[in-house]
């Protein structure tokens, strides 16, 4: 049996970590992107960092997390984009994330990117090592 070719995505698809702030994110940013929790994707809670990255990559869903350490440098075969939020308050980071969504509106814009949101927004291309600051 032939698998149906996957429709190209326009809006980016993200999987978010087990954190209450992502409820607010879903409400405020659903016009820019689609969100799903790690738990719903993996059908299990409490997944290890590496396992979560692998599953999101398999499902072609970018990742958004508050873990700024282990998600920063994924293995080279990881294609999906990773957004690491380094700010504690959603009032601070959600507007910055909206800025990212406006600059990178499509799903394919995030491939091989690691985006670090702190006081500045840093976008690193993991393939070329190019760094762009918004």
Binding residues (CB under 8 A) for other proteins: these are 17-23, 37-40, 45-50, 52, 66-70, 88
CB of 126 to other proteins, least distance (A): 18
Task: Say if residues 112 and 125 touch (Cβ distance below 8 Å).
Answer: yes
Give the pairing type, strands 34-37 and 62-65.
unpaired
* Sequence-distant contacts of 90-94: CB under 8 A, at least 24 apart: 90/21, 90/24, 90/25, 93/117, 94/24, 94/25, 94/28, 94/29
Min dist CB 38 to other proteins, Å, is: 7
Residue (30 or 88) nearer to other proteins, CB? 88
Q: Which is nearer to other proteins, 40 or 99 (CB)?
A: 40
Element (H, E) at 90: helix 90-103
- With respect to other proteins, which residue has the nearer C-beta, 41 or 134? 41
- Least spacing, CB of residue 69 vs other proteins, in Å: 4
């Amino acid at each position: 049996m032939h698998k149906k070719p996957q429709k190209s995505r326009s809006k980016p698809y993200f999987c978010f970590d087990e954190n209450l702030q992502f409820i607010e994110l879903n409400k405020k940013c659903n016009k820019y992107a689609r969100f799903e929790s790690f738990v719903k994707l993996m059908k299990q809670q409490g997944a290890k960092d590496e396992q979560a990255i692998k599953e999101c990559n398999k499902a072609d869903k970018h990742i958004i997390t508050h873990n700024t350490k282990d998600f920063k440098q994924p293995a080279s075969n990881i294609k999906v984009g990773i957004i690491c939020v380094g700010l504690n308050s959603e009032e601070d980071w959600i507007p910055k994330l909206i800025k990212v969504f406006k600059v990178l509106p499509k799903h394919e814009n995030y491939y091989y990117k690691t985006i670090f949101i702190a006081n500045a927004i840093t976008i690193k291309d993991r393939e070329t090592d190019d760094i762009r600051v918004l």
